[in-house]
Amino acid sequence: MGIDSLSLRSRRVWLLLTIIFCGIFFLSSLLLFRIQTVTCQIETHPCPPEINQALLPLQGRLLFLSSAYLSQYLPALEPQYQLENYDLKLPSTLLLNFKKQPPIYQVRRQTSQEVKVLSQAGEIMSQEPKAHLPTLILASSVWDTFLMTNPPNLGIHQKLDKVVTTLPSFTASIQGLYLIDIQTIVTYLSDGKVAILSLDDFPTGLERLELVLRNLTIQPQPEVREIDVRFQFPVLRQALNVPRHEAL
């Protein structure tokens, strides 16, 4: 047997040993690096039992989970909590840090005192009214359309979110907001006037309303009671087409 033959045989042995070693390492990794413990915190405080219970399905999964998987799986646990970051502690511990999602607005049904408080993500966080939050009164048909699914209709939520985030830039005092249908929002001003805006284009409508009110300050027209800014050229009316909601 020549030297070349021994060298070839030696390389084959080393290749076989390498494959066996890699296979053993891979299999042991699958068994070893699996989640056995989930440590959960909410802003440095331990998670409540219901959150820990909801996290149990993570046990037994591979420790090296992708952030995309976690971001899809975890928000469904509790709507008022949002995953802030996570860490891995070898060999088998997953560390999760949540933060509370602040509520951004609340909706109230026109025909009752029923209230839903919503987060930025469009999740219902509470059914208890919050005095500090912007409140939108919804006609019963809008309420049913918006809240017929859980979570609520995302398209409508995004429009309502835009309404409440745009309002702080509006200088006139507003007494209330009332959605009479899924396309139209009625704004009640503190001076008794009523403004009608398109929900789909609320920021532009608010700019038009601001301009109209500024002009009415310069050239007062006491007979104007309703301002319709759903169109390119606002319409001023002496009579109300939209009745004032009794709760405002």
Strand, coil or helix: 200: helix
Strand, coil or helix: 153: coil
Residue 68 lies in a domain: yes
Considering the domain architecture, whether residues 74 and 95 belong to the same structural domain is answered as: yes
Rg from Cα positions in the chain: 30
Total domains in the chain come to 2
Q: For the chain, what percent of residues have pLDDT higher than 90?
A: 33
pTM higher than 0.85 for the full model? no
Considering the domain architecture, whether residues 125 and 166 belong to the same structural domain is answered as: yes
Reported as a pLDDT band with limits 50, 70 and 90, residue 198 is: very high
Considering the domain architecture, whether residues 92 and 109 belong to the same structural domain is answered as: no
- Whether pLDDT at 3 is above 60: no
More confident residue, 181 or 91: 181
Tell the burial category of 239 from Cβ atoms under 10 Å away from its Cβ (0-12, 13-18, 19+). exposed
Specify the CATH number for the domain of residue 67.
Answer: 3.10.20
Q: What pLDDT does residue 24 have? A: 54
* Closest listed residue to residue 161, CA positions, set 106, 205, 111: 106
Q: pLDDT tens digits, residue range 113-123?
A: 899 999 888 88
The whole-chain average pLDDT of the chain stands at: 81
Considering the domain architecture, whether residues 76 and 113 belong to the same structural domain is answered as: no
Considering the domain architecture, whether residues 144 and 69 belong to the same structural domain is answered as: no
Q: What pLDDT does residue 8 have? A: 62
Domain encompassing residue 187: 103-237
Which of 54, 75, 100 delimits the end of a domain?
100
Q: What pLDDT does residue 69 have? A: 66
Specify the CATH number for the domain of residue 220.
Answer: 3.40.50
Q: pLDDT tens digits, residue range 122-134?
A: 888 888 999 889 9
Residue 138 lies in a domain: yes
